Amino acid sequence: MIYLDNAATTLPKPVSVERAVCRAMQSMASPGRGAHPPAMRAAETLFQCRCAAAELFHVPEAEQVVFTMNATHALNIAIRSRVRRGTRVLISGFEHNSVTRPLADLGANITVAGRKLFDREDTLKEFQREIPRAELVVCTHVSNVFGYILPIEEIGELCRKHKVPLIVDASQSAGILELDFQRLGAAFAAMPGHKALLGPQGTGILLCGEAGLPLMQGGSGSDSIPQHMPEVLPDRLEAGTHNTTGIAGLLAGINFVREKGPENIREHERRLLELMLKELKNEKTELFAADGSVQSGVLSLRVNGRSCEDIAEELSKRGVCVRSGLHCAPTAHRSAGTLETGTIRFSFSPFVTEEQVLSACRILREIIFKES
């Protein structure tokens, strides 16, 4: 199997992640629900994971790291903490449904800025024009469809200048690109644990620059008498029993990323992207690509006159795992002009090799030219 669907979920995981999950399942109970050793081991693991994430993303205090089920859960907390009906919200032209659907559900007044793919200058110009009229900015760091790296630091600077709060969707950047939460000055940044942080599914993180509003109410393991959630983080936003086994795996994944170095992972994926672009450049294939400074390890393409879903199915039959369609991001496809067809998406991880990329390209060429 050649797995090239890492923008959805990374696979395989580091061996250390598998081991951490198994150890936790055998030795840890629920944190904050007792003073016995299994509960204390769980509490220590959660604290270590908060500290590791805080160090990786330059968060001042570990308590500002809140555990969630995934990035969608984290974004819902962040968005619902800030948005009411009619709130003027500015988003990029490359947002995922995990941003646009909560905003639509809440009745936000949405403005879209920066629809030109891989054009950071245009994106920044559009945001510069629109931010003064916004009450909130929600922006992805990297497009999950095209790997477009948006100028999030410059957008953050504009938000600080105009005192407009910023929510960052770091689903495709956390673990690969530099994300300095303190320097960004964002209200929140959301990320999954199961993508480039290499943790298990069912894990996510919300970095909090403010307390936020609880999405759920329930047990917190602390301050049990009041019938409202605690005021302090992280308890305020973490109702119910934690996914302790998942968080133990997430800690191992974050440690793997820290040891390997996000910059080294990015460089590895950049080389794979360049290799794939070289191998797939032909008259039948439309490649959505730019230079490595504005694109992460994600490549979308279309084949002239062919269904993206059909080609993805043929690739799957031959052992190549990719994703086709709209990737839960119709806004991004509308911006790129691919809404009617979708794209075939290839995405990398630290475990993808050059040999695998070459094999996948050879198989795709066979499908394109043999069946055309």
Q: Are 327 and 144 in contact (CB under 8 A)?
A: yes
Measured from the Cβ of residue 368, the count of other Cβ atoms closer than 10 Å reads 18
Q: What is the pLDDT along the chain (372 residues), one digit of tens a residue?
A: 999 999 999 999 999 999 999 999 999 998 888 889 999 999 999 999 999 999 999 999 999 999 999 999 999 999 999 999 999 999 999 999 999 999 999 999 999 999 999 999 999 999 999 999 999 999 999 999 999 999 999 999 999 999 999 999 999 999 999 999 999 999 999 999 999 999 999 999 999 999 999 999 998 777 777 888 889 999 999 999 999 999 999 999 999 999 999 999 999 999 999 999 999 999 899 999 997 789 999 999 999 999 999 999 999 999 999 999 999 999 999 999 999 999 999 999 999 999 999 999 999 999 998 755
Helix count and strand count (H, E) for the chain: 12, 13
Q: Give the global pTM.
A: 0.96
Q: In the sheet where 109-113 sits, what is the strand order?
A: 65-68, 204-208, 188-192, 166-169, 136-140, 88-92, 109-113
Characterize 14-42 residue by residue with b for buried, 16 or more Cβ atoms within 10 angstroms of its Cβ, and e for exposed.
bebbeebbebbeeebbbbbeeeeebbebb
CB proximity list for 347: less than 8 A, separation 6 or greater: 4, 5, 6, 7, 8, 147, 297, 298, 299, 323
